[in-house]
Amino acid sequence: MSKTEKNLREAFAGESQANRRYLAYAEKAEDEFFHGVAKLFRAVAAAETIHAHKHLRTLGGVKSTKENIQDALSGEIHEFKNMYPQMIADAKEEGNKSAEISFTYANAVEQIHAELYTKALEDPEKFPVKDYYVCKICGYTIADAPPEKCPVCGANPKAFFKVD
């Protein structure tokens, strides 16, 4: 791997993490009624996304939609079959209940994401356009409408937001 490729990978990871971190900071600022600061965090997060996307495209990491679905599916399968089970076991062993719950929720939802990608991969051209709703507690993702109770974390429909 060349130095430039290594740098692009590192920059992609850093920009991606900054985006997520700044969005979390924006949410906290909103909770504390610092609306101007929240808006600033969201603006900079959007800029970090632009940087991350450019680095990923430069690396050749964005391919055809079918290849991108397959890549996403592979990642989700790895997470729920390998990554999260070990993390759950480690958290249990260390007695970190909060991390155990976080990993367990994510693990359950990654399986659902894999199912959604599997359906999309069957025929991307005929995959229907639907509204999706995501639980803000655990990330459970569902098409059409939120459930009466989140099957992963038990949250009520008010915990769901519609994805634009």
Q: What is the pLDDT of residue 5?
A: 97
CATH number of the domain where residue 153 is located: 2.20.28
Same domain? For 82 and 111 the reply is yes
**Same domain, residue pair 69 and 118:** yes
Going by C-beta distance under 8 Å and a sequence separation of 6 or more, which residues neighbour residue 121? 66, 69, 70, 73
Q: What is the pTM of this model?
A: 0.90
Domain that holds residue 78: 64-127
- Total domains, the chain: 3
pLDDT computed for residue 50 by the predictor: 97
Query: Are residue 22 and residue 35 in the same domain, yes or no?
Result: yes
Shared domain check, 134 and 122: no
Same domain, 116 and 149: no
Instruction: Give the separation between CA 131 and CA 64, rounded to whole angstroms.
Output: 23
Give the separation between CA 36 and CA 38, rounded to whole angstroms.
5
- Do 110 and 73 fall into the same domain? yes
Does 117 share its domain with 141?
Answer: no
User: For residues 100 and 92, what is the distance between their CA atoms, to the nearest angstrom?
Assistant: 6
Question: Maximum Cα–Cα distance for the chain, whole Å?
Answer: 51
> Are residue 72 and residue 54 in the same domain, yes or no?
no
> For the chain, how far is it from start to end, CA to CA, in angstroms?
38
The predicted pLDDT at position 12 comes to: 98
Q: Could you tell me if 118 and 135 lie in one domain?
A: no
One pLDDT digit (tens) per residue for the chain, 164 residues: 999 999 999 999 999 999 999 999 999 999 999 999 999 999 999 999 999 999 999 999 999 999 999 999 999 999 999 999 999 999 999 999 999 999 999 999 999 999 999 999 999 999 999 999 999 999 999 999 999 999 999 999 999 999 99
Contact in structure between 135 and 152 (CB atoms under 8 Å): yes
**CATH number of the domain within which 13 lies:** 1.20.1260.10
Retrieve residue 101's tokens: 């719950």
Residues 35 and 46 both lie in one domain: yes
The single-letter code of the amino acid at 105 is Y
